[in-house]
């Protein structure tokens, strides 16, 4: 039986003022390729309370549709209780990130992510300022 491999690394991404969406699929697949893992699981978690990870078809129409949906769910111009404490204008950013979530777990098959033909992994900045985001990646497999 093959030994289990654990591979831990960090991806750094520069994201513009939210809602900014960046495809990180190639970054993850490069990490998997270097890890020696053929089959297993990839877990990624964006660090910070105003960022999120998900999968979409990364094409301009779907990207805009997702931005529009996020705006409808947690509009920037509503009153947020967060503003009473911090006065930083990003209460909506925290709500948006919490709804989409900070992490994702995906299967690794044949040394790459097992995704649908039109499915990519994306990092999203919801904050009202540009951010350099760290994405902690943990791979486990054989």
Taking the domains of the chain in order of start, what are their residue ranges? Answer: 5-141
> What CA–CA distance (Å, rounded) separates 49 from 93?
8
pLDDT value of position 140: 98
The dihedral region occupied by 112, where left means phi > 0, alpha psi between -120 and 50, and beta the remainder, is beta
Nearest alpha-carbon partner for 54 in 44, 64, 65, 39 = 44
> What CA–CA distance (Å, rounded) separates 122 from 52?
8
For the chain, 142 residues long, give each residue's pLDDT as a single digit of tens.
789 999 999 999 999 999 999 999 999 999 999 999 999 999 999 999 999 999 999 999 999 999 999 999 999 999 999 988 889 999 999 999 999 999 999 999 999 999 999 999 999 999 999 999 999 999 999 9
Pick the CATH number of 5-141 from 2.40.160.40, 2.60.120.460, 3.30.70.360, 2.30.110.10: 2.60.120.460
Q: Say what the pTM is.
A: 0.95
Show the CA angle centred on residue 33, arms to residues 6 and 40, nearest 5°. 45
């Amino acid at each position: 039986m093959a030994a289990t491999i654990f591979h831990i690394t960090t991806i750094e991404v520069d994201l513009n003022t939210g809602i900014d969406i960046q495809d990180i699929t190639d970054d993850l697949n490069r990490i998997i390729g270097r890890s020696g893992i053929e089959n297993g699981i990839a877990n990624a978690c964006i660090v910070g309370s105003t960022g999120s990870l998900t999968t979409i078809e990364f094409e301009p129409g779907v990207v805009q549709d997702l931005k529009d949906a996020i705006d409808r769910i947690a509009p920037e111009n509503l009153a947020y209780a967060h503003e009473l404490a911090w006065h930083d204008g990003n209460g909506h950013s925290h709500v948006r990130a919490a709804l989409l979530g900070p992490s994702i777990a995906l299967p690794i098959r044949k040394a790459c992510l097992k995704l649908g033909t039109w499915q990519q992994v994306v990092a999203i900045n919801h904050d009202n300022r540009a951010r350099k985001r760290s994405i902690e990646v943990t791979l486990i497999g054989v």
